[in-house]
């Protein structure tokens, strides 16, 4: 279990992470979402004691990361795929990390096989493709067979087969009761992998919800109506104060009303309906919606606040 309480990181007068509090529970994959520069990586670095928070605390299974006696065996982390010396082979890299906690060579071979790097394990990591680097990052995270995994953008640079592999790996690891915390800026990917989502924007908490709840939160519920008499139906709906957001020759999209109401209105006026489809916003849209709201209606921000987060786009 990962717990953040009032986590804040300030660089000079720029706030990268602003008073974040959340809990990541074991047994499920928790997605950590936000646009680029939202503060995801900074938050993860604070969880791992690499960056010191300006305020607040972060604990893993009740302990601050620095106080964990055998960190690799408790927490596996992949902050960026390229946390490896380019002149060293994947195998030597893993052996060096493993040695700090007395992890046997056998386990090193095991994770190399697990991530599918067996053939290139003795080659210099500098020549690795992005996908191979990602797999090596995963291998180092799994090295100590930890109960908690913290992965920053693990699917970046992977081919479709690799993405599918990660997705299944994370789900199976979660099913074993581990705590899995995975960041991404791609909602569509998280929708397939995670069951809980923590969404941040500009360093602030936007939503801490299950995937279903997030879809429901979207304001974009619309009904798509196809009728040969769209002009008349628009008039009728407008009379009731219902907004028609778009229309084609015979298709209109209506928001702020249910398909039942629209159907009844049309029936009373004798307008034939060819199609009447409630359209739930996709998760992608829901995500865009809530992150845009955060940007537009956030707390009174200094004008430079957006720059502040954008400036650390790698965070």
The smaller minimum CB distance to other proteins, of residues 156 and 291, is found at 156
Measured from the CB of residue 137, what is the shortest distance to other proteins in angstroms? 9
Measured from the CB of residue 130, what is the shortest distance to other proteins in angstroms? 14
Contact of 177 with 26, CB cutoff 8 Å: yes
Q: Is 245 in the site for other proteins (CB under 8 A)?
A: no
Q: Is 110 in the site for other proteins (CB under 8 A)?
A: yes
Q: 41 to 60, contacts with other proteins by CB under 8 A?
A: 45, 48-52
Q: Is 28 in the site for other proteins (CB under 8 A)?
A: no
Residue selected from 33, 132, 169, 207 as contacting other proteins according to rule CB under 8 A: 169
Q: Is 83 in the site for other proteins (CB under 8 A)?
A: yes
The smaller minimum CB distance to other proteins, of residues 126 and 272, is found at 126
Q: Is 66 in the site for other proteins (CB under 8 A)?
A: yes
Binding-residue pattern over the window 223 to 242 for other proteins, x denoting contact by CB under 8 A: --------------------
The smaller minimum CB distance to other proteins, of residues 168 and 212, is found at 168
Q: Is 80 in the site for other proteins (CB under 8 A)?
A: yes
Q: Is 128 in the site for other proteins (CB under 8 A)?
A: no
Binding-residue pattern over the window 137 to 156 for other proteins, x denoting contact by CB under 8 A: ---x-x--x-----------
> In what order do the strands lie in the sheet containing 2-11?
14-24, 2-11, 55-60
Residue whose C-alpha is closest to residue 27's, from 146, 175, 145: 175
Residue selected from 8, 36, 59, 92 as contacting other proteins according to rule CB under 8 A: 92
Which residues contribute to the site for other proteins (CB under 8 A)?
45, 48-52, 65-66, 68-73, 75, 77, 79-80, 82-89, 92-93, 95-97, 99-103, 107, 110, 114, 140, 142, 145, 168-169, 172-173, 175-176
């Amino acid at each position: 279990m990962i717990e953040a309480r009032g986590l804040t990181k300030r660089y000079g007068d720029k706030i990268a992470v602003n008073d974040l509090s959340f809990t990541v529970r074991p047994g499920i994959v928790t997605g950590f979402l936000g646009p680029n520069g939202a503060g995801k990586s900074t938050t993860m670095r604070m969880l791992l004691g690499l960056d010191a928070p300006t305020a607040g605390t972060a604990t893993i299974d009740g302990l601050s990361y620095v106080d964990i006696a055998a960190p690799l065996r408790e927490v596996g982390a992949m902050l960026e795929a390229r946390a490896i010396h380019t002149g060293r082979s994947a195998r030597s890299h893993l052996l060096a990390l493993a040695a700090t906690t007395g992890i046997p060579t056998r386990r090193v071979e095991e994770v190399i096989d697990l991530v599918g790097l067996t053939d290139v394990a003795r080659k210099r990591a500098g020549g690795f493709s992005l996908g191979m680097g990602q797999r090596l990052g995963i291998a180092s995270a799994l090295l100590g067979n930890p109960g908690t995994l913290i992965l920053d953008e693990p699917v970046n640079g992977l081919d479709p087969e690799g993405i599918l592999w990660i997705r299944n790996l994370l789900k199976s690891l979660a099913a074993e009761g581990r705590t899995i915390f995975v960041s991404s800026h791609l909602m569509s990917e998280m929708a397939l992998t995670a069951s809980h989502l923590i969404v941040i924007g500009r360093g602030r908490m936007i939503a801490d919800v299950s995937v279903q709840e997030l879809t429901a939160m979207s304001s974009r519920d619309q009904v798509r109506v196809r009728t040969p008499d769209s002009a008349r139906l628009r008039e009728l709906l407008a009379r009731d104060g219902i907004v028609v957001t778009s229309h084609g020759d015979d298709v209109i999209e209506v928001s702020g009303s249910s398909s039942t109401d629209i159907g009844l209105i049309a029936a009373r006026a004798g307008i034939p309906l060819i199609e009447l489809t409630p359209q739930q916003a996709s998760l992608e849209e829901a995500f865009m919606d809530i992150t845009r709201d955060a940007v537009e209606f956030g707390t009174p921000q200094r004008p430079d606040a957006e720059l502040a987060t954008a400036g650390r786009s790698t965070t």
